[in-house]
Each structure stands twice: as C-alpha cells, then as structure tokens.
A and B are shown apart, each in its own frame.
Chain A
Amino acid sequence: MNPILLQFTFIIGLLEAAPMVLAAVGFTLIYRLNGFVNVAYSENLTIGAYTGVVLNTMLGLGFYVAIIPAVLVSGLFSVATYLLVFRPAMRRGVNKTELIIMSVGLSFLIRYGLTMVFGVLPYPFTHDRTFIRFLNIGITDLQIVCLILAALVSIFYLMFMFRTNYGEKMRALSDNEQLAKTSGINPLRVTIMIWFMAGVAGGFAGVFLGVFSIVVPWLGWYEILFIMMITIIGGIGSVPGAIVAGLATSILRSGVTLMSDSYAGAVTLLVLFIVALKYQAVRKGGIKT
C-alpha cells in the first residue's frame, strides 16, 4: 500500500475515531447496565454540542473552557432521561423492546424540541485554528488537543471501570443486580453514576463532532447507527471493546473510503457488523450447549 495513503488512513482514522470511541463507550455503558439499546442516547451528543455552542459562540467562553460545562450538562440530561422516562418504565415491567421504542420516541421529542428552541439554522463553534503539517499531512492544533482529550477520557473510563471501587460496583451491578444489592451496593446511586458517565461521554463526542462541522438538531441522530454498529462489533457491553472497535473501524473505514468511496466504507462497516453478530451468536450458542 502506498505509504502516503497509509499515513492519511491512520491519521484520518484517528481523528474520525475520537468522537466515535467516546460515543460508543457511553452507549455500551447503558446497554451493559440496563440491557437495552437506548436510541435517545444520540441526543446526548446533540445536547452536549448545543450546550457547548451556547457557551462558546453565544456567551463568548473560550472553546476549551466551554467543554467541561457542556459535558456536565449532557451527563445531567442523561440522568434526567433515566429518572423521568426509563426508570419508571422499567419499574412498571416494560420489556426491552418497548424500552427501545420509547427511546426512539424520546429521541424524536428531544430533537424536535431542540429544533423549536434553536431553529434549523446551523450553529458553528468559535475557535481559532493553527494549521500544522505532521508527516506531510495537514492537521490543526485543535484536532491534536481533541485527540489527546479523547484518549485521556477513554483511559479514564477504562481505569474507572477496572481500577476503582466504584467501577467494581458498576460491573457488579451490571452482572448481577440481586447479588450486588445483597453486597450492600446501592443500585440507584450506582445506576445514576453510570447514566451520568454515559452522558458525559456522549457530550464529549457531541462537542468534538460539532466543533469540526456545525451543530444542528440532527447531529447525534445521524451518528446513532454507526455508534450502535461500532458497539456491537466491539462486543456490546464491553468498554474496552468499544474503544478498540471505535479505533479499528474508523481507521478501516477511512482507508476504504480513501481508496474507493464512502459507500464502500459504509459497506465495510456493515460487513464487520454482520460478522460480529454471527460470531457473538455462535459464541452464545456454544456457552448454552
């Protein structure tokens, strides 16, 4: 393969991966805990992006300063959806399929609510860029910072899940709620923490998507299918899997698109998705027997 092509593939793949890895981590956290596909998670990205743009472009805060409150708002929004919508539904015995349908409805409600508030005019972030050349490829200082931030946040989530007491409680609750309760874990508190962290991850993803494009009400909605596919490829419910799958699929998709077109990149992702589903189905079947 042409070395220039390889360089472009790798660097572009990393840049594309940054928001997708974070989004996939957040998505998979919710699935691992509650066992359903939360389509409304896409709106965490959008909420994060809009909060960021309000703080940055409308209120004049610097971009890097605006990130933290933006992701915190996204985290709180995620918790709100859990407490107001999904938790009451689960306590009423709503099954997983119905929860998915509810999440789709909630996604529509939030998206069109944002449209009512902000309109359909796209909003840009306000930031300065310095253009740099790295390995003969153009990159900006903003992209480098976002890459580093994405890596740090991903590592933080990994460390939190596998190296802290709270992370242990989260994994215990996800694996076996009854046993976790008898061990003295407060399910509500831990669940809220998971939804908050998932929302924060989504908020980061939304800010990174928004700063390199424009913020529109359907920002997150357009990404949700890719997020779901990446999560499933990485093994749904697995945070390390989401990180690895996010990186690998983004790099692979970038390379295929570079050599062919975006259709081929999307088809590549679809093929990986089908293979992952098959593999997981076979693996589950193996465990049962």
Chain B
Amino acid sequence: MQRKNLKALLMIIISVALVLAACTPAATPPVAPPAAGDAPAGDAPAGDAPAATGEPILFGHLAYHTGGFGFHGPQFDASVNLAIREANQDPPLGRPISPAWHVDVGTLGEGDAARQLVDAHGVHILYNTAGQYITYRQWILQHVADNDGPLMPSIHGGAVPDKYGGTPLEPLMRGEPQTSEMAMAMLLDFYDMGGRSVVIVASDREEMMQQRAYTIEAAELLGIEVLDVIVIQPGETSYRAEASRVVMHDPDGVIQFSHAGCSGIFLSNATELGASDMLWYVETNSAFQPFVDAATIDAINAQRTVRWPTIAVQDNPAWHHFSALWYDFWDPRPDEPAHNYYVTSSWDILMLTFLAIEKAGSLYASDWVPAMYAIAAPGGEIVHTYLDGIAALRAGREIQYVGVVGTLDFSSTGTINMDWVVGSWNPDGTPNYDGNVITRQRQNEIISQLTTEWSWD
C-alpha cells in the first residue's frame, strides 16, 4: 500500500513538473508596454509622447528555441523584445505593442507555429518567416486575402525565393539579403583569395540547395573549377565519408552551405582525414561559438583561413543608439555582439515596420507595404532612430530610415541588396568582423548573368 502511494505521489510530482515546464515563459521575459505618460528615453526629441491607449498591436515571433538554430534563440528573442520596448516608448498609432509571443519552430515546424500565432493569437505582425514558408504559403496567402494581414517582416526571408513577397497580397518584407547573394559573396571572396578549384558542400535543405545551384553556375562564370558537389543530411554526428571526398580532390578550398553544427563537424572530419591549408567558407550562422565548438580550434587553424559573410554596420547614430541599448538590455554571450548580422538587421527591419505602421495609419497590409517602401526609399528627412522617425511622421514630414546596416532599399518583391563583409575566425577562436568587402555591384554583375531560377511553383 505504501509503495503504491509513493508511486502515485511520484507520478503527481512528475506531472506537475511537466505542466510547469510547459508553462515556462520564453527565453527572455516579454516586455510590458510602458505606462501612459512615460517619457521617451535616449535620442528622442523633446515633447510629449501621446498616451499609449487603444487595442494592443499583437506581435508573433517565429522563434528558435530547439533544433539546429536553437542556440540563436535567446538573441533572436532579445532583439525582438528590445525593439518592442523601443517602440512602446511612443507606439505607432498610439497602440501599445503586445509582449511578443515567441513560438518555437525548431520542433513543431514553422507552419504549425505560424498557424498558432495567426489563428490562435490573431497576431497583426508575424515576424521571421523563413525557409519553411513553402509549407504554409498557400494558407497564409488566403488569410492575407481575407483579412488584409498579418504583416510579415522577416530577417530570414532571404531563404524564400525572391519572386515572392513585397506586395499587399504577400506582405513579406525582408531585413536581410537573399541567401543567393550570401553565396555570391562567399564565392567572390574565394576568388579574391586566389581560389581556383572548389568543392561545394550543401545541406539537404531547400535554400541551401539553391545556394549550391547558384554557386555552381557562378563558379563557371568566374573560371573556378568545381571539383565536386557534396550533399549532406543535416543533424548527423559524422560526415567522414563525405569529407573524405574533399581530401581526395584536394581543392584550393571548400564552400559550405549548412548549419553551424554540421559545418563544424564537417570541417573537423575533413581535417582529421588530412584536409589542410584550404580556403574554407561557411555561412553566416557559423560566425558563432557553436561552430568553433563543433569544428575545434585546431581544425580551424589547420586551414589557411575559415571565413564567413556578414553585413557591416554603419558608423552612424543608429548604430550608436542600438549598440548601447543591446548591452544594457541583456547579457549576451561573447559571440553575440551588437554588430552581429542577425540582431542588427532585426533591429532595422522592426524599426522600419513600426514606423511604417504609423505612416500607413493602419495595420492593414495594403497600407503597410507601400509605407515600407516609402520610408525605406531615399527622398525624405533622414532619421536614424525610431523616436526621431515617429516624431517627424507625426509632424507631417516624410522620412527615410537609415539604420544600423544602412539603407534597406527594397526591390519590387520586398528583397534588399547590400554590401557584404567576409570575416574570419582568428587563431584563438574569436571572430574577426573586419574583412573583405564584396559590394552589391560586384554581386549583381554575377547574379544578373545566372540562368538558375528558384521557384516553388
């Protein structure tokens, strides 16, 4: 009898623990909107902020708390929470922005998370549509057609083919360039470093396979010999068999399109098998500590250089404002500096989003999309912070937001085009963000000649 009671008690404790765990809040605490009458901080102009009243603007974030991108989760959540806090000092339309719902896509998938945010929570802003957009595109397009929303700013929209987005019927507006342009930056830097023979490695994911296709064609245009093209399955613990092909070919270098863990393991395996003194290129997501942990310092140092593309921050008031806020807001890991690619572009696209809502005068996609183009395009008064922008808009002036990464000059499908900087890992395992600048003009010269097309139709 006693044993039965003990077991029952154990079951109850475990059940309660599971329920509590399920109720645990997101990686970073949601930010409550400020009370009406709070003075705006920082660079905001003098003057009274309107009281924050009205129905809140509901914000949904497609977050990464588990899976291959899980280690980015805290900084993505923090970048969203910080942006919301900034805007809530003087929210657009006088409507406070709700604490974000950070719904994990790493386990359930992006489609399920998007449906939860849109259907269950009724979000006005669905942030960070990414590579799994194809799984719910038809559904969200119908929802937008029926409801004129949600708004879909994204820093991962570069994983969506560039023919989609940028219209009121598909209000996907990107804060980062296309992954194809990232691939061109890697290839052009490889060429500048003297690489003339390459092995291309790509994870079996939609956007990475597209990067592979673009790179194969572009390499031919540049006169770089593609010795092998290797496809790997994401999430495996060993890529020795695949990596041995790199050793057998002995190229000038390797260009890899994979997650940080996969890239690191592949580099480590290849180095163990004898690959050395090569030009090694990995994606932006590998500019973080988990890549070093997977690859190991001695494998990185066995190569001539291990490099990755990023976007340079501008030395302007936007950067100074944001960087101070970033370190004040939370305690990032050493490999999550304020100038890292993800958080800077996240900041800018969200500042643009909130300013565009004010300019649009509504939360409808049909109003917001034109407002995004208007605020991003040159011609208005240049502003570098949200508070400057909102004050100018309320005073009836046209603005152009120039942010941490500079101008976000949208194409007709909501894509952007930027200069890349190719950084590298130092011998001590710290990231070196100073590197070779690959201008957008150089990228476009190559991209304009490519015949490879990417479509989900």
A and B co-occur in one complex: yes
Contact residues of A with B, CB < 8 Å?
4-5, 8, 12, 15-16, 88, 109, 112, 115-116, 120-124, 129, 131, 133, 137-140, 143, 209-210, 212-214, 216, 218-219, 222-223, 253-255, 257-258, 261-263, 265-266
The verdict on B49 contacting chain A, using a C-beta distance below 8 Å, is no
Instruction: Tell me the bound Cα distance from A143 to B273 in angstroms.
Output: 11
- Residues in A with CB closer than 8 Å to B21 are 112, 116
Cα A235 to Cα B7 with chains together (Å): 37
Cα(A219)–Cα(B248), bound, Å? 29
A122: B residues at CB distance < 8 A: 71, 261, 290, 293-294
* B237 touches which of A137, A219, A255, A261 (Cβ 8 Å): A219
Q: Does B230 contact A (CB under 8 A)?
A: yes
**Interface hub of B66, B231, B244 (most chain A Cβ within 10 A):** B244
* A258 near B241: Cβ-Cβ < 8 Å: yes
Further 20 A-B residue pairs, CB within 8 A, beyond A131-B272, A138-B272: A8-B248, A15-B238, A15-B240, A16-B240, A120-B66, A122-B294, A123-B293, A131-B274, A131-B302, A137-B244, A137-B274, A138-B247, A138-B271, A209-B238, A213-B261, A214-B265, A222-B235, A255-B241, A257-B242, A263-B204
* Interface of chain B residues 233 through 276 with chain A (CB within 8 A): 233, 235-238, 240-242, 244-245, 247-248, 261, 264-265, 268-269, 271-275
How distant is the Cα of A266 from the Cα of B232 in the complex, in angstroms?
11
Closest residue of chain B to A219 (Cβ to Cβ) is: B237
Which chain A residues lie closer than 8 Å to B65 at the CB level?
120
User: In chain A, what residue has the closest Cβ to B241?
Assistant: A257
A143 with B241: CB separation less than 8 A:
no
Cross-chain contact of B298 among A129, A138, A257, A263 (Cβ < 8 A): A129
What are 26 A-B pairs with beta-carbon distances under 8 A? A4-B248, A8-B247, A15-B238, A109-B18, A112-B21, A120-B65, A120-B73, A121-B71, A122-B294, A124-B296, A129-B298, A131-B271, A133-B274, A137-B247, A138-B273, A138-B275, A140-B272, A209-B237, A209-B238, A212-B237, A212-B238, A213-B238, A214-B261, A214-B294, A258-B241, A262-B231
B274 contacts A213, CB within 8 Å?
no
CB contacts (< 8 Å) of A257 on chain B: these are: 241-242
Q: How far is the CB of A88 from chain B (nearest CB, A)?
A: 7
Q: Does B293 lie within 8 Å of A214, measured CB to CB?
A: yes
Q: List CB contacts (< 8 Å) of B277-320 with chain A.
A: 290, 293-294, 296, 298, 302
- Bound complex: CA A129 to CA B298 (Å): 8
A222-B236 contact, Cβ under 8 Å, with A121-B290, A123-B293: yes
The answer to the question of B109 belonging to the interface, with a C-beta cut-off of 8 Å to chain A, is no
Nearest to A45 among chain B residues (CB) is: B237
- Chain B positions near chain A (C-beta within 8 angstroms): 7, 18, 21, 65-67, 70-71, 73, 106, 204, 230-233, 235-238, 240-242, 244-245, 247-248, 261, 264-265, 268-269, 271-275, 290, 293-294, 296, 298, 302
A16 touches B272 (CB 8 A): no
A115–B24 Cα distance when bound, in Å, is 13
The CA-CA distance from A253 to B242 in the complex, in Å, is 11
Check A213/B232 contact, CB under 8 A, given A122-B261, A265-B241. Answer: no
List chain B residues, Cβ under 8 A from A4.
248
Find out whether the CB atom of B231 lies under 8 angstroms from the CB atom of A263.
Answer: yes
Q: Which residue of A lies closest to B22 (CB)?
A: A112
Alpha-carbon separation in the docked complex, A18 to B71 (Å): 29
Q: Are A88 and B7 in contact (CB under 8 A)?
A: yes
Tell me which residues across on chain B come within 8 A of A137, comparing CB atoms: 244, 247, 273-274
Distance of A109 Cα from B294 Cα, bound (Å): 26
> Cβ of A129 and Cβ of B231 under 8 Å apart?
no
Residues of B within 8 A of A112 (CB): 21
Q: Please determine whether B240 and A218 come into contact, CB atoms closer than 8 angstroms.
A: no
Q: How far is the CB of A109 from chain B (nearest CB, A)?
A: 8
Instruction: Check if A258 sits within 8 Å of B245, measured CB to CB.
Output: yes
Q: Is the CB of B290 within 8 A of A214?
A: yes
CB-CB nearest in chain B for A8: B244
Question: Which 7 A-B residue pairs are closest in the complex by CB-CB distance?
Answer: A138-B274, A120-B70, A257-B241, A124-B293, A213-B237, A138-B273, A254-B241
Q: How far is the CB of A157 from chain B (nearest CB, A)?
A: 22
Which residues from chain A contact B18 at a C-beta distance below 8 Å? 109
Whose C-beta in chain A lies nearest to the C-beta of B275? Answer: A138
Q: Which residues of B contact A138 (CB under 8 A)?
A: 247, 271-275
- Return A106 CB to nearest CB of chain B, in Å: 11
B233 partner residues in chain A, CB cutoff 8 A: 262-263, 266
Residue in B241, B261, B272 whose CB lies within 8 Å of A129: B272
Given contacts A122-B261, A143-B272, contact A213 B294 (CB under 8 A): yes
In angstroms, how far is the closest chain B Cβ from the Cβ of A35?
24
**Chain A residues with CB below 8 A from B245, complex form:** 258
A52 to B73, CA, bound (A): 26
Contact A16 B241 (CB under 8 A): yes
Instruction: For the complex, give the distance between the alpha carbons of A137 and B245 in Å.
Output: 12
A15 partner residues in chain B, CB cutoff 8 A: 238, 240
From residue B106, how far is it (CB to closest CB) to chain A in Å? 8
B231 cross-chain contacts in A, Cβ below 8 A: 261-263
B-side contacts of A255, CB under 8 Å? 241
* Chain A positions within 8 Å of B268 at CB level: 212-213
- Taken together as a complex, chains A and B put the C-alpha atoms of A3 and B376 apart, in Å, by 60
Asked if A262 and B66 make an inter-chain contact with CB atoms under 8 angstroms apart, the answer reads no
In Å, the complex CA distance between A266 and B294 comes to 24
A262 engages B244 (CB within 8 Å):
no
Tell me the smallest distance from the CB of B171 to a CB of chain A, in Å: 31
| A53 CB, min distance to chain B CBs, angstroms | 11
Residue of A nearest to B66 (CB): A120
Q: Which residues of A contact B240 (CB under 8 A)?
A: 12, 15-16, 254
Is B261 within 8 A of A216, CB to CB?
yes
Asked if B71 and A213 sit within 8 Å, CB to CB, the answer is no
Report Cα–Cα, A131/B277, bound state, in Å: 14
B residues less than 8 Å from A262 (CB atoms)? 231-233, 236, 241-242
Among A133, A213, A223, point to the contact of B265 (Cβ < 8 A): A213
Q: Of residues B67, B73, B240, B242, which shows the largest number of chain A Cβ atoms within 10 Å of its Cβ? A: B240
